Each structure stands twice: as structure tokens, then as C-alpha cells.
Structure 1
Amino acid sequence: MLQELSIKNFAIIDELTVSIEEGLTVLTGETGAGKSIIIDAVHLLVGGRGSSEFVRHGEKKAEIEGLFTLEDEKHPCYKKAEEFGIEVEEGMIILRRDISAQGKSVCRINGKLVTIAILRELGSTLIDIHGQHEHQELMNETLHLTLLDQFASVQLKTSLQNYREVYKEFEAVQGRLKKYNENEQEMAHRLDLIQFQLSEIENASLVPGEDESLIDEKNKLMNFEKLFQSLQNCYNSIQGEGRGLDWTGLAMSHIEGAAEIDSKYAGLMEAVSNSFYLLEEAAGTVRSELDELEFEPDRLNVIEGRLNEINTLKRKYGSSIEEILEYSSAIEEEIETVTNKDTLIHDLEKKLQSLEKDLYLEAEQLSSIRKKAAKRLTAKIHEQLKELYMDKTTFEVRFVQEPSKSGQFKYRKDGADQIEFYISPNPGEPLKPLSKVASGGELSRVMLALKTIFSKHQGITSIIFDEVDTGVSGRVAQAIAEKIYQVSVNSQVMCISHLPQVAAMADSHLYIAKKSTRGRTSTSVTSLKVEEKIREIGRMISGVEITDLTREHAKELLSLAESIKSK
């Protein structure tokens, strides 16, 4: 729900902060006091079109901020936030939008800068704003299928999941088949190319790790003279008269003499002896290495050539020999596939036919569930319309299944059904698409009937009705008040209204007033207590003068409202 709304330097609003309660909040006040301006601010907060005209005269920017709390862990807002990399802590979402005097907008969600498009997409999961003549979500025929599915809920979930699994496989096979049936010349060129590439890789006879071994060998050959000199100096330092081995042998003789006199030197004698023999063995090894060392300038040329060949293949097919060999395996498989294309196409066509049969059955099952749900929905909407004194109105959910080229249905990710809500407000008139209903009053009541039902399934945090009760009175006004309250049972509702019947149903009542200070006009918001609420409802009934009779009438409306709400 929208917990707190802060507005600064917006139109005639100087600065105000409004706390919004659960249930039904009604905003009332004189015409021009700024009620709709508050709704405009909320509309901008969730991604509506901005303009420099919204910035209060003489100020640099307008600031709007709203705190939303999410009680349901499965609320669609979480998924959207994750999609855009926005962290949601403790179920709180803070939307902020600044509009400069030049008309530029800066949008933030939980402190993160976002585009208006992202703000709008996430905001649509939080607030649904309905004006008298606006075609909102319920008026958008492309969303009617989604609304019906939400209404069908549990019964539809398993069937839709089964359909989507088959559809996913069907779409994949269809894509592969389309690929193989495309331009023959292009595929022939592709085959020539990958056959050449495979031949080039195979002729190179690559061995994993070969390049690293060649680089080591190249390094040795390029530093041959330094290597030879180092080994020679090492050998000369160990072997020869008066060199390391001679002195170690002399040390061994002396320590042996000491050990013969005192046995405690036996360990030391063994250590010196071991050193002598190890040094002697090392000298032999160095000598053997020197004898085997041979400079091969031709070998260096061979290595350079091989490394150049490997590096050329790396530039074409992968950053390492392992990647080149993996690419080789992949194109070898592709060559096998392309050369056996006719057989593969035949197999894919058979598989596609089999999947289309399965998809047809799943789509029929899905459509059957939807049609049953549509009957239940139609009955419920007729009940709602009857309560709104539109018992002569006819509502219908129309199904269309577009045929495919094969004569079966044209399948989509949600089935083969396309639906649209149709309505006829008056007997004898043909059914028309809901979006074509002309009368504002009729549209408001139809929308309320639909919203009463769908608000239980949509998961929208807050719903705003902006003077949807305009143009009605009497028993219809009372029916609309009760419907708006019914919607507020499942969703937080804010409603701008001029009807005392609607104001009486409010869980919280905000009075919007306009005042002038030092030649500047500003808007204020006051949360009304019981006596103040009676006075305001009395004003809405009688106009300017509030008599004892209008006060009694206001009390009677409040009493009636409490009686209805308690049921």
C-alpha cells in the first residue's frame, strides 16, 4: 500500500506530506482546491508524462516521493525490482521523481537512478489510477486474457503450465525447421566455409598443450649460449683440482678422523659424506647435460613456423588449442547435420506434427477451462451491474481462435485464445467492445463492477478513483459508494469524490483546502475527525449553508455506511 506521500513545489502545492491509511481514503474539498493535483502528482510518481508546467511558479524543481509497503512476498513488484537490479529491503519501495523548471525528470527507486520507462513499469504493479474518461487496464483489450486467467486462478494454473511446456518445445522445433528451410544458397556457402575450416584445423594436427611446450623449447634455444655457459661454469666449480668436490672430499677425510676418536661426530661425518656423493652425482649429471647440449638453428626456425601456424588458427577459431579443438568438434557436428539436412528436416517435420497434436489438445483443455471461467465471470459481472442498477446491461466474454496455415490454431505462449470483453448497456443495442462504451457514467459503473471482481486477483497495492462517480446521483450514487468500498476490502483505495454517499463510506477522510498567504496560493490536507467529517458531508449535501437537517442527514449517511460496512 501507499503509506506516505510527500509533495513539494508542485503546481499550487507548496509542501505537504500525507499519510495514507489502509482501506478506503476519500479526498473531498471545494472545486479547484487541489484534489486532482494530488492525484496528478501520484500519476507522475509512477511514470506519468511530466512537464515544466507542474513546477510551482518561481521554484527550481518539483519533488514527489512515495513510500510503499509490500505485505505479500509474491507481489509482482518484487519480480520487477529484481529484473531491474533494485534491492527491496523489509518490503519497502520508495519512489521519487524530481521535475526541473526546464521540464527534465530525475527518477529514483529505492535510491537508484532509473529511467522513466522503468519507473512506469514498476509503478504499474503498485498503483492503478482510474479517471472518468480514461481507458485504463480494464479498458485495454490486449490485457483481457490476463484478467480472465487471474480470475480462473487455481483451475487454470496447471493446464497453462502444461501448455507452455509443450509450446516451448514446439517453438524450438519450429525454429530449427525454419532455419533448415531457409536460403539454400546461404546454407551451401556456410557448408563450404565450415568444411574448409575443419580441413584447416585437422591438417594442423594440434595437440593440447603443444604451444606451451614449443614456447619453452624456443626460449631454451634462444638462450642456448647463456645456458651452456652457466652449466659449464657450474661443472668447473665442482669438478677439477682444488675445486668444490676436492675440498668436500678433504673435509670428509678430516671428519672421518674426528669420528674415529669420538663417536659423537658420526652423524656429522655421515652428513658430509652424503654431501660429497651428492655433489659428485650432480657433477656427473651436469657433464651429461653439457655433452647432450647442441645448438640447432634449423630447429628454432621450425618452432617459429609452428607457433605462427598455431597463432593464426587461434586468431580464427579460439584463444587456445583447447578452444580450437572444441570449435572443430562443433563444426564437424554441424557439417554432419547440414549434409544430412533432408533426413533431419523430415524428422523435424514429423516431430512438429506430433507436438502440434499435443499442443492442440493442451490448447483445447486450456480453452475449455477459460470458457467455464468466462461463464462464471459473466454471471458475477451481471450480479455487480445489477447492484449498480444496470440490470438491463449485457456483458459477454468473446473468444477468437485464429487459424494457422496448417488449418489448426495459431498458437501463442498463453494458448490459442484471444478474448475481448463486450458490453451492451441498453436492451436492443448490439454488443460492443468495452473500450467503445461512450457514456462516462456507464463506463464508470462498468469499470467499478469489473474492478470489484478483479481487485481480488490482480495484486495491485493501491487503486485511485479520480471522480469516477461524476454524473450520478440517488440510489446509483449509493450503489457506487458501496462498490468502491468493496474494492477497498482487497486493495487500498484512494477516491476523489463529490458524493456524500462515497465520503460516508470512507475509513479515513482527507479534506483538501486552498488558502492564500502573502499573495501566494497553496493547498493543505487535513484528516477529518468525526465531527469534522459530519460537517464536510453536510456541506457536500447542501452546498454552502449547513443546517441542523443537513447535519442529521450526514449522521444518517454515516450510520448507514457503518451498517453496510459491518456486513
Structure 2
Amino acid sequence: MLRVLRIENFALIDQLELEFGTGLNVLTGETGAGKSIILDAIDAVLGGKVSSRVIRTGTNRSLVEATFVADSALAHWLSEQEIDLIDDNLLIVSREISITANNVRSRSRLNGVLVNRQVMNELRERLVEITAQGQSVLVGQSSQVRDWLDVYGGSTLPQHRDVVAGAYVTYQQAHLALEQRRTSDRERLQQLDLLTYQVTELGAASLDDPDEFEQLQQERERLTHVVDLQHMSYKIYQALYQNDGDALTVTDLLGDSEGALTDMVEYDKELQPLLDLICDAQTAVCEVARQINAYGENLEADPQRLEEVEERIRELKQIIRKYGPTLADAIAHYNRTQAELAALTNSEQSIESLEKQEKACFDKLIKACNKLTQLRRSAGEKLEAELIRELKPLAMEKVQFKVDITPTTPTSTGADKITFMFSPNPGEPLQPLSETASGGEMSRFLLALKACFSLQEAPDTMVFDEIDVGVSGRVAQSIAEKLHQISYQQQVLCVTHQPLVAAMADRHFRVSKQVINEARKKENNGHAEERTVVRVVTLDNLTKRRDELAQLAGGKSAQDAIAFADSLLVQAQHHRNKLATDDKRM
């Protein structure tokens, strides 16, 4: 429930603080007095769209602050947002709007905690619902009518709507997978051809050893230089071990050195390590000579093998140029291509299987939509009966109303197009409400609709902006009684020009414009100028209320207007007493 509204520098309001109460709170005043500005401020503090125009001329900052009394459900939601209540049950919602250069900035806070727009949107739905005759545009929108019906249907409908939304997402995913497969099937076949060719080519090359290319190059060098290698190995053998001429070999020289050192060791044992080295060297040289001789003797010219090596090197060079830059890279590409080919040929679902999957998901969606449609038809029948019951006291005794539900393409919200069909006069066919209802009929319809919703889960505060425009007499009285009836369940704020409605108020505010002299600074020279401001007075006694009602009724406080106002107040009190008695009986 909205307890206090404080406004600073908002449109024509310089400073204003209003304290609202339970029941029916009514704001009256002449046309253009600024009543709607107060409702605009409520809309703004709850996250509504604002522009630089809401900031009072001559200032660069506007502040709107609303204090609400929180119920247990709101307290629980705030706890989830990690926001503590003040004094156990108070929530202060504030919004500061400022202008710098050409930019408009705003900050919203809940009990001093900065919050984003998403949080404010969720909070707004829990705190206040604003109804204006301009909502007749929404009545013609199937999506809005659908949302209203779903809320009216209670918790079961929104829950099953979530089921439909989930089924729709699953179907969309299956449909997208099928369409992507169909779109890419030609590319997939081309990719299959390419991968198959590469795997075949690389497989035929028998690529096993990443060092094969270097080894073949080495073998080719050996086979190409067999004669040179034989000659040089024989030459080394002669130098080390056996010379055909008279020259001494390395082993001869080492043998002489070994003999000399043996004699020297006889006289100096410290030379023994050197003798050991000579002996080891002699052994090593003999081994080298033996192995180089064997190497040379085993060398044979093999033109056929050389041709095979040359052919293999050419083949590997071709592979490396296409899949390299090294043979190891080509082998890695071969392994990777085999895996990709296996994935395309073995793991990919066929178009047929994807079509089956899409159909199964679509069937599940249709089944969920059909269930949702049944729930909506049930809620629609209930709304039809209740709304007609609410409209009859509003001078619409013969009204016909139907929630028309026709099938449409399934979406995340179901497969229903919902239209409110309406006939206010006997003998006239049902037609779309938005196309046939007059202004007064639309006002009464919206009021009756909100009365139906007041019995469901709805915000604690309902705001009606001139919902009684276009009506008078008995209809206005019926609207007044209906507003007061709704205020038994929820706090109601109502802007009205109807004295019949204002007379039913539990708390009455008069809104007016005044011209004041305000000191302003201009070019560093202070001077006073006339400014228009909005002022609100609480009419807290019968005399003030009577005068305001007389003003609304007759435009002046003539005796007949005063008498009419007195009769309205007496009639309003009688109605309140009757409602209270009926409530006790229930």
C-alpha cells in the first residue's frame, strides 16, 4: 500500500508531500490543474519512462520518493533481492532524475540500495497497477488480452504457459537443427568428397614414420656415393691399421709408443696411467679400423634401390607440399582428417532422423498448446460470467461479453488468438470490444475488468486515471460504488471530475495550480519572477469536501450546488454503511 508520496522539482511541482490512506483516495481539481502529474510521478518512481521535460524548469534535478507498506509476499521478494525493510514493513522507493548537457540520467533506489531497471519492473508489478481510459488501445491487442486472461486464470495457467514455452524452445532447436542440416547438406557432401579423397591419398602413401623423409634423403646420399665411400673407407683402414707401402700406420706408431712407455714404467710407476691410455687408444684404433674395413667391404652399388628411394622421396615431397610443411604435419593432418570423416559419416544424424525429431517436438508443443487452450477456455468462461456480473450494476444490464479464442500458429505463449467480443445492446451481434465500445462503455469495461482482477492476485494499490470520463448520472454513481467496492480489497487512487465518484472517497485531495513569486538567479543578479506550481490540499472535513463537490457539480458554490453536494455525501455514507453491513453478513 502506498503511504507517502514525496515529489521535488517534477514538472510543475516544486515541493509536494502527500499521505495516502487505505480505501478510496480521490484527487479532484479543474482540468489542467496537475492531477495527472501526480500519477506521472508515481509512474516515474516505479521505473516508467522519463524525459528532460519532467525536470522543473530552472532546475537540473528531480526526485520522487514513494513509501509503501510491504506485505509478507513483498517482504519475501525483497529478501531475495537482499534488501532489508525499514521498521519491519516499510519500503522507500526513490528515483532521482538529473540532466547534464543533453543527457538525462536517473537512479532508482530501494531503501537506499541502487537497483537496475529489471528489478524495478518486477517490483512495479507487485506494488501498483495503473488503469486509464487510454488502455482501450491495449484491449485491441491480442497479446495483452492473452496476458490478462492468463493472469486471471490463477497459478495453473502461468505454470502451464511455462511448459509451453519450454516445449516451444525445444521445438525451435529441433527445427533449427533440421534447417541447418538441409541448408548445409550440399556443403557436407562436398566436404565428404574432399575428406575421402585426402584420406585415400594419405592412406595410400603409408605414412607411419615422421622421420622417414630425412632417413630416405640420407640413404639416397649413401647410395649415390658408394664408390667414394668405399675408397675413403679403404684409405682410412690403411692409415690406421695396414698400409700397402712402407709408411707406418697409426697402430704401428701406437705400438712403438706403448713399448717405450712400458720400459719407462719400469723406472717410474707414475707413468702407468699414460701407458693405460696408450693401450686403450691402440684397442680403439684397431676397432675403428676393423669396422671401417667391414663397412667398405659391405658397400655395394644398388641402382634399383636408389631408384626406389628417389621415387619415394618424390612422393613424400608431393605429400609435404600439400599437407606439410613437414612430414609430421602431414601425418597429423591424415589422423585429423580420418576423425573428421568418421564424424561426418558415422555420427551425423540423417535428415530423416532430424525430421522425426522435429515432428516429435512439434507434436509435444501442440499437445501442450492444446492443454493451455483448454485452461484458457475454462478461465474465459469464468471471466465472461464474472465480468457480466460486474458490468450489470454499471448500467449495462443487457450486455453480452465473450472471450473469443481462435487457433493460430504456435509460439512460446501458445497457439491462441484471444479477442474480447462485446455487445452492449440487445439484438446487436458480438463484435471486437476495441472496435465497438464507446468511451463511456470502455471506461466501465476497464473498471469491471479490474474489479474481476482485484479478486485474484493483484498489487495492493490500484490507480485509476479518469476512468469515469464520458459517463454521468446513474452510470457515474455505479462507477463510484464499484471503485469503493474495489477499495475494500485494495487501496485505490483515483483521479476524477465526477462529484458522484469524489463523494465516495475515504480520503479526498484537491489539486490546483497557483502562481507564486520565486527568486531566481540570472546573470548573477537575483530577481523575482512569477512561476506556476501545483498545490494539493487534503480535504479533511465535511465542509471542505462539500465545497469541492459543489465546485465540481456547479462550478460555483451556489446554494443548489451546496445542497447537491450535501446529498452526495449523505448518499455516499449510506452506501458505505450498506457495504459494511453486507460485508459483516458475508
TM-score interval w.r.t. the shorter chain?
Answer: 0.5 to 0.7
1:50 CA drift (Å): 3.5
Q: Report the counterpart of residue 545 of structure 2 in structure 1.
A: 533
Q: Secondary structure at the match of 1:16?
A: strand
Aligned: 1:173 with 2:168: no
Matches within 5 A, 1:62-211: 62-73=62-73, 87-90=82-85, 92=91, 94-100=93-99, 104-110=103-109, 123=124, 126-135=127-136, 138=139, 140-156=141-157, 159-160=160-161, 163-164=164-165, 166-187=167-188
| Contact residue 23 and residue 492 of structure 1 kept, 8 A | yes
Q: Report the counterpart of residue 225 of structure 1 in structure 2.
A: none
Letter in 2 for 1:521: T
| Contact residue 107 and residue 119 of structure 1 kept, 8 A | no
Letter in 2 for 1:350: K
* Residues in 2 aligned to 1:51 and 1:440: alpha-carbon distance in whole angstroms: 29
Q: Report the counterpart of residue 397 of structure 1 in structure 2.
A: 403
| Contact residue 50 and residue 103 of structure 1 kept, 8 A | no
| Contact residue 500 and residue 537 of structure 1 kept, 8 A | yes
Which of 325, 338, 355 is equivalent to 1:349? Answer: 355
| Structure 1 residues 125 and 157: CA distance shift in structure 2, 3 A | closer
Q: Report the counterpart of residue 12 of structure 1 in structure 2.
A: 12
Residue-by-residue CA offset, 1:87-124 (whole Å, 9 max, x unaligned): 53327362304143866432222256677788667646
Identity of aligned residues (%): 33
Q: Report the counterpart of residue 552 of structure 1 in structure 2.
A: 566
Residue-by-residue CA offset, 1:443-467 (whole Å, 9 max, x unaligned): 1111111111123335334332121
* Residues in 2 aligned to 1:343 and 1:49: alpha-carbon distance in whole angstroms: 49
Letter in 2 for 1:527: T
Matches within 5 A, 1:492-531: 492-518=491-517, 519-531=530-542
| Contact residue 12 and residue 56 of structure 2 kept, 8 A | yes
Aligned: 1:377 with 2:378: no
1:496 CA drift (Å): 0.8
| Contact residue 440 and residue 471 of structure 2 kept, 8 A | yes
| Contact residue 501 and residue 557 of structure 1 kept, 8 A | no
Q: Secondary structure at the match of 2:415?
A: coil
Residue-by-residue CA offset, 1:129-154 (whole Å, 9 max, x unaligned): 33333446555421222221222224
1:194 CA drift (Å): 9.8
Aligned: 1:451 with 2:470: no
| Contact residue 44 and residue 95 of structure 2 kept, 8 A | no
* Residues in 1 aligned to 2:19 and 2:535: alpha-carbon distance in whole angstroms: 13
* Residues in 2 aligned to 1:505 and 1:192: alpha-carbon distance in whole angstroms: 84
* Residues in 1 aligned to 2:556 and 2:359: alpha-carbon distance in whole angstroms: 75
Residue-by-residue CA offset, 1:395-416 (whole Å, 9 max, x unaligned): 22122212xxxxxxx3322322
* Residues in 1 aligned to 2:53 and 2:74: alpha-carbon distance in whole angstroms: 38
Matches within 5 A, 1:402-441: 402=408, 410-437=409-436, 439-441=438-440
* Residues in 1 aligned to 2:502 and 2:127: alpha-carbon distance in whole angstroms: 24
Aligned: 1:479 with 2:478: yes
1:31 CA drift (Å): 3.6
* Residues in 2 aligned to 1:204 and 1:546: alpha-carbon distance in whole angstroms: 112
Letter in 2 for 1:353: K
Letter in 2 for 1:466: D
* Residues in 1 aligned to 2:115 and 2:338: alpha-carbon distance in whole angstroms: 46
* Residues in 2 aligned to 1:435 and 1:76: alpha-carbon distance in whole angstroms: 38
Q: Secondary structure at the match of 1:469?
A: coil
* Residues in 1 aligned to 2:339 and 2:389: alpha-carbon distance in whole angstroms: 63
Structure 2: stretches of 5+ with no match in the other structure: 210-324, 326-334, 518-529
Q: Secondary structure at the match of 2:492?
A: strand
* Residues in 2 aligned to 1:124 and 1:154: alpha-carbon distance in whole angstroms: 16
Q: Secondary structure at the match of 1:457?
A: coil
1:27 CA drift (Å): 0.7
| Structure 1 residues 67 and 335: CA distance shift in structure 2, 3 A | farther
Letter in 1 for 2:24: L
Residue-by-residue CA offset, 1:306-353 (whole Å, 9 max, x unaligned): xxxxxx9xxxxxxxxxxxxxxx99x99986553246754333333443
| Contact residue 108 and residue 116 of structure 2 kept, 8 A | no
* Residues in 1 aligned to 2:494 and 2:338: alpha-carbon distance in whole angstroms: 67
Q: Report the counterpart of residue 361 of structure 1 in structure 2.
A: 367
| Structure 1 residues 436 and 107: CA distance shift in structure 2, 3 A | farther
| Structure 1 residues 458 and 374: CA distance shift in structure 2, 3 A | same
* Residues in 1 aligned to 2:125 and 2:390: alpha-carbon distance in whole angstroms: 26
Q: Report the counterpart of residue 467 of structure 2 in structure 1.
A: 468
| Structure 1 residues 355 and 131: CA distance shift in structure 2, 3 A | closer
| Structure 1 residues 504 and 364: CA distance shift in structure 2, 3 A | same
* Residues in 2 aligned to 1:59 and 1:204: alpha-carbon distance in whole angstroms: 82
Letter in 2 for 1:377: L
Residue-by-residue CA offset, 1:357-386 (whole Å, 9 max, x unaligned): 444333323222221221121111112221
Structure 1: stretches of 5+ with no match in the other structure: 206-311, 313-327, 403-409
Q: Secondary structure at the match of 1:401?
A: strand
**Count of aligned pairs:** 430
Q: Report the counterpart of residue 575 of structure 2 in structure 1.
A: 561
| Contact residue 484 and residue 504 of structure 2 kept, 8 A | yes
Letter in 2 for 1:348: L
1:356 CA drift (Å): 3.6
* Residues in 2 aligned to 1:156 and 1:128: alpha-carbon distance in whole angstroms: 21
Aligned: 1:338 with 2:344: yes
Q: Secondary structure at the match of 1:129?
A: strand
The TM-score normalised by the length of structure 1 is 0.65
| Contact residue 63 and residue 94 of structure 2 kept, 8 A | no
| Structure 1 residues 451 and 76: CA distance shift in structure 2, 3 A | farther
| Structure 1 residues 101 and 123: CA distance shift in structure 2, 3 A | farther
| Contact residue 2 and residue 69 of structure 1 kept, 8 A | yes
* Residues in 2 aligned to 1:5 and 1:416: alpha-carbon distance in whole angstroms: 43
Q: Report the counterpart of residue 307 of structure 1 in structure 2.
A: none
Q: Report the counterpart of residue 25 of structure 1 in structure 2.
A: 25
1:479 CA drift (Å): 0.8
| Contact residue 141 and residue 435 of structure 1 kept, 8 A | no
The TM-score normalised by the length of structure 2 is 0.63
Q: Secondary structure at the match of 2:487?
A: helix
* Residues in 1 aligned to 2:181 and 2:370: alpha-carbon distance in whole angstroms: 30
| Contact residue 45 and residue 96 of structure 1 kept, 8 A | yes
